């Protein structure tokens, strides 16, 4: 009989893999292993401790933490107690966390560090009890350290209660509430059932070829994001080793230490790596630049044969072996040297960047999905995939285009609805199909192309509709540009706010004899403005005249989650940016 509940699936894997390594984490600069047996014991202790704390079946448990093994222990432990884990982004403000805790009626909140604990103490539950459990050692009054929490579970005699709860478990049990960050409006709690995650495992098995229990995955994106969360469920389903990285700014170092074979990432990661590589190449001597360009060119030609499983001509095979030994292998070394593929989704990815990585021998398995679809709707197959698409629709999932070219999805991986929001749930579906809010096409072979978010379309004062995400994706692929927000709604023309990549700009400035003591001063230098004008002119070439960026302003400070300009998934909050930089924007249209 097929397993229908994730807690039971996880138990089966613990029994199967026993003393094999399940997880790795970094402590005091050293990566340490946790076995399946040890991880399973902590999960069971967590389940019993939650029962001791009075969490009922169907009760919610909040997780407010950066990535760490305890995150998964609490997650699966809650499922084992037949409770519902509710993730909160570690970067969320106290008010954002308060909204989720109160909307989900959470009684126990696990915090991952002093920053999250400080925010948790500000949460007002209007008198409703809220137990705080710290995943790191603490002596703070009124906070239960995780080791004491586990000790409570280990002393507990409520094992029979856990078994009784699991005997009542079913496929349609609520597995989690994931609150969408949203670029506008208040968050909505997406209800995903165990059946959705079990179906995810099944369809990914069909799509992902040789992925198995000899693989090592880097847990780099926030576990509070549906992409990394669903992938982590799949990692344990397959018996892989999961390496937890608590500080995403150290990802390149961690990749070179752990040498994973797989890692989920969003397009911004590849944009930054690409920009760093090109910046280094531009500063290299002419001979080295020529070698790099030759090697990548050879990689592109060889990649076309590899992609479609075609026999490579002997001359090209020899050239590729040389190019690989001299250049391409070193580029793969930046990401650990063993990557089979990078699952990638969450935002538009420049085709130029995708093809560059493929030329280097790094497969970005580009895909598409939403929180409401348990992440993956489509992704690239092992071979014969098509650049410029977000892959082929997953087996068992249906996709079509509806009114306004909206992508609509149907299948077992689609959410049950929005928590306590029946009107929003009804609005999200049409004839049983989930309305994604993304515009695009689905061709006869099931390949999806996303053109833009329908709600993000900009209408100029001349009545022209603009897809800002497409323009931002193009500009964002430029090594000199770190972040971009396209403006133009009800305006005469399109403009942009640009945050330079100072990693690339400052070396350029030094090379041209410009002072770099102040970023604010640097971005106002005529030479720098002219440089960025030339880059925008280049990106404008393939665009229709009404889509072209006519004016821009350089900003010395990045958009941040804390500043309210971007979501935790790094999507631009266009309205917030327009409000915050109103004076700067108005000046461009004066």
How confident is the model at residue 272, as a pLDDT?
86
Top-tier CATH class for 6-169+226-239: alpha beta
Burial group, residue 428, by CB count within 10 angstroms (0-12, 13-18, 19+): buried
CA dist 345 and 370 (Å) reads: 9
How confident is the model at residue 5, as a pLDDT?
97
How confident is the model at residue 159, as a pLDDT?
95
How confident is the model at residue 195, as a pLDDT?
98
Residue pair 569/266 in contact by the 8 Å Cβ criterion: yes
How confident is the model at residue 185, as a pLDDT?
61
Q: Looking at the DSSP assignment, which residues form a beta bridge with residue 417?
A: 191
Residue pair 574/485 in contact by the 8 Å Cβ criterion: yes
CATH architecture for residues 457-589: 2-Layer Sandwich (3.30)
How confident is the model at residue 150, as a pLDDT?
98
HEC profile for 68-82? CHHHHHHHHHHHHCC
Pairing label, strands 494-500, 481-487: antiparallel
CA dist 516 and 126 (Å) reads: 51
In the predicted model, residues of the chain with pLDDT beneath 50 are: none
CA dihedral for 549, 552, 556, 557, sign (positive or negative)? negative
């Amino acid at each position: 009989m097929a397993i229908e509940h994730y807690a039971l699936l996880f138990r089966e894997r613990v029994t199967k893999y026993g003393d094999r390594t399940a997880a790795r984490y970094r402590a005091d600069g050293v990566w340490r292993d946790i076995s399946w047996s040890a991880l399973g014991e902590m999960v069971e202790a967590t389940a019993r401790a939650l029962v001791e704390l009075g969490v009922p079946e169907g009760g919610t448990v909040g997780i407010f933490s950066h990535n760490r093994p305890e995150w998964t222990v609490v997650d699966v432990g809650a499922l084992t107690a037949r409770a519902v884990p509710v993730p909160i982004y570690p970067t969320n403000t106290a008010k954002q966390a308060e909204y989720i805790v109160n909307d989900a009626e959470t009684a126990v909140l696990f915090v991952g560090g002093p920053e999250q604990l400080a925010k948790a103490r500000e949460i007002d539950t209007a008198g409703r009890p809220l137990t705080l459990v710290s995943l790191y050692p603490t002596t703070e009054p009124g906070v239960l350290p995780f080791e004491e929490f586990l000790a409570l579970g280990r002393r507990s005699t409520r094992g029979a209660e856990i078994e009784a709860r699991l005997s009542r478990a079913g496929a349609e049990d609520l597995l989690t509430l994931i609150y969408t960050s949203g670029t506008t409006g208040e968050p909505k709690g997406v209800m995903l059932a165990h059946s959705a995650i079990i179906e995810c495992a099944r369809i990914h098995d069909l799509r992902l070829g040789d992925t198995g229990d000899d693989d090592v995955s880097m847990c780099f994106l926030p576990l509070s994001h549906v992409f990394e969360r669903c992938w982590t469920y799949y990692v344990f389903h397959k018996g892989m080793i999961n390496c937890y990285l608590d500080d995403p700014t150290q990802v390149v170092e961690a990749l070179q230490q752990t040498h994973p074979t797989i890692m989920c990432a969003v397009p911004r990661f590849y944009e930054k790596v690409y920009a760093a590589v090109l910046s280094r190449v531009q500063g290299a001597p002419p001979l080295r630049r020529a070698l790099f360009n030759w090697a990548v060119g050879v990689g592109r030609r060889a990649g076309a044969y590899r992609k479609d499983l075609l026999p490579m001509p002997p001359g090209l095979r020899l050239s590729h072996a040389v190019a690989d030994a001299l250049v391409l292998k070193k580029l793969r070394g930046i990401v650990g040297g063993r990557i089979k593929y990078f699952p990638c989704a969450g935002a538009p990815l420049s085709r130029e960047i995708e093809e560059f990585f493929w030329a280097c021998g790094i497969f970005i398995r580009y895909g598409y999905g939403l929180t409401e679809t348990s992440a993956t709707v489509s992704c690239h197959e092992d071979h014969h995939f098509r650049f410029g698409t977000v892959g082929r629709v997953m087996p068992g999932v249906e996709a079509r285009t509806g009114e306004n070219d909206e992508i609509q999805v149907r299948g077992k991986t689609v959410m049950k609805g929005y928590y306590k929001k029946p009107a929003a749930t009804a609005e999200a579906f049409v004839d049983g199909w989930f309305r994604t809010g993304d515009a695009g096409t689905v061709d006869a072979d099931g390949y999806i192309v996303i053109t833009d978010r329908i709600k993000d379309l900009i209408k100029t004062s001349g009545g022209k509709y603009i897809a800002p995400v497409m323009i931002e994706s193009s500009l964002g692929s430029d090594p000199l540009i770190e972040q971009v927000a396209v403006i133009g709604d009800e305006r005469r023309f399109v403009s942009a706010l640009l945050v330079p990549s100072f990693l690339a700009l400052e070396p350029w400035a030094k090379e041209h004899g410009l002072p770099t003591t102040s970023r604010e001063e640097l971005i106002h230098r005529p030479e720098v403005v002219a440089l960025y004008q030339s880059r925008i002119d280049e990106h404008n070439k393939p665009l229709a005249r009404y889509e072209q960026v006519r004016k821009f302003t350089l900003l010395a400070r990045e958009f941040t989650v804390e500043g309210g300009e971007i979501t935790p998934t790094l999507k631009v909050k266009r309205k917030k940016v327009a409000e915050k930089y109103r004076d700067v924007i108005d000046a461009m249209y004066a």
